[in-house]
Amino acid sequence: MTWRMDGTYFESCNCDMLCPCTWSAFAAAATHDRCLVTLVYHVDSGDIDGVDVSGLSFALVADAPRQMAEGGWRVGVCLDERATDEQADKLGQAVSGALGGPPSALSPLIGEMLGIERVAIDYRSEGGTHSARLGDLADLEVTDLHVAEMAEPVQLHNVFHPSNTTLTLSPPKRAAVDAFGIKYDGVSGFSAPFNWSA
């Protein structure tokens, strides 16, 4: 089975800015007792084993130990309610890591699946601002960080992350999450394009 997905992503977690889990490949300790994070993806163009998933969105909501590399993450998945059953099935397989590719790097770290919710996802990304409302479960908005008069936003390069090896620092304007028993307000944030295939 071959597949690919291209689009944009952003995340927000409860770590103090700048989240140490991200720049350390999960090796450095989170700034609080647990790392609570939501990663939201929008597929601009995608095909999974002949099934077109373009235009759909999904999100991962995770509760991980302070040392994320230890594993045992508790993860819930939000899938776009506009997806057909076939699209939802293919997306679920890809996101779980079952089909290989970048998401499979997270599979060994997941200790408990908290469920899959099909919700209305309103995803927007324009002019350096990225937002998503996940039904009644989350409302997030982050904005790419610019300093002084520099035209390009602040970025992290050469990081180990399933979305991209270059991430833009994108502090949240709002990030309220109450999903799968995970509740927090985001403080740190990142964004990037993503290009997945296997």
Give me the pLDDT at residue 117, please: 95
Is 195 within the bounds of a domain?
no
Q: How far apart are CA 19 and CA 3, in angstroms?
A: 31
Q: Within a domain: residue 197?
A: no
- Say how far apart CA 58 and CA 88 lie, in whole Å: 10
pLDDT at residue 196, rounded to an integer: 97
* pTM of the model as a whole: 0.96
In a domain, 198, yes or no: no
Residue range 26-78, pLDDT digits in tens:
989 999 999 999 999 999 999 999 999 999 999 999 999 999 999 999 999 99
For residues 133-147, average pLDDT = 97
Look at the chain and report how many structural domains it folds into. Answer: 1
Looking at the predicted structure, is the pLDDT value of residue 102 above 90?
A: yes
| pLDDT at residue 1 is higher than 80 | no
Domain of 40, in residue numbers: 3-182
